[in-house]
Amino acid sequence: MQRYFLEVAYNGARYAGFQRQENSVTIQSEVEKAIQVYYRKPFSLTGSSRTDAGVHAYQNYFHFDGDEVGDMHPEEAVYHLNAILPSDIVIRKMIPVGAEAHSRFDAIARSYRYIVYRQKDPFLYQRAYYYPYQLNIERMQEAASEVMLYTSFEAFSKKNTQVHTYECAISQSVWREELGMLYYEVTANRFLRGMVRGLTGTMLKVGRGKLSMEAFRDILRARVHASAAFDVPAHGLYLVRVLYPAIDERKSFC
């Protein structure tokens, strides 16, 4: 049985999240429906990274098994599947991979971006977080750098999450300012539920002067659920990249 990776991108505004859910429209349910329409049989997809309701992705992955794809070049199949999918979801690539390749467990890193704008702009509505306040960017940058000194992020994980460890290895944590926009860029080997929004919201409090750097360090050290600020909206968050060494280095996963 041939296995394939599907690279997808989407605007998550209309969806209840990435993963299939009962009685809800999700990215997975829409892609599975399109594949079933095209191949006239059901397929079960496995996703690489869950995203919450309203969160967007420049890049995410599914994998599935299907010898039927072999009857048509993957690029041609992608063209037809995109014609079936709604306009806010696109399949970018269909990549033949080895039988043991796994879109979730083989990923070695994921990168997220949170976008903030401070001048009212209707074209950014529901695509970034409108936050019209004075911010100390240097202090936020200091907080972002501080994040990289820690490996346990229990304080930045929402409750009711089924994980065995709160350990994450963060390799990038930085605020970037460009043309009046603020971007928080963070890369790690794994992320906890709500973690990027918790980091972003808490650092925005630091930037406004509502939280001192020492208090921010206390939250990092405290490892207490919900001590971070999770109140930034989902629509400012983007999954930017899921990294697989074999795909990135050889353009094929064997």
Q: What is the arithmetic mean of pLDDT over 222-235? A: 82
Question: What is the pLDDT, as a whole number, of residue 246?
Answer: 66
Q: What is the arithmetic mean of pLDDT over 99-110? A: 94
Identify the structural domains of the chain with CATH numbers, from first to last.
3-106 (3.30.70.580), 109-240 (3.30.70.660)
Question: What is the pLDDT, as a whole number, of residue 23?
Answer: 86
Using the predicted structure, report yes or no on whether residue 109 has a pLDDT greater than 70: yes
- Residue with the bigger pLDDT between 88 and 245: it is 88
How far apart are alpha carbons 189 and 183 in whole angstroms? Answer: 20
Helix (H) or strand (E) holding 116: strand 109-117
The three-class DSSP label of residue 65 is strand
Q: 21 with 98: CB under 8 angstroms?
A: no
Using the predicted structure, report yes or no on whether residue 35 has a pLDDT greater than 90: yes
The mean pLDDT value of the chain amounts to 91
Q: Whats the size of the chain, residue-wise?
A: 254
Q: Which residues are annotated as catalytic?
A: 52
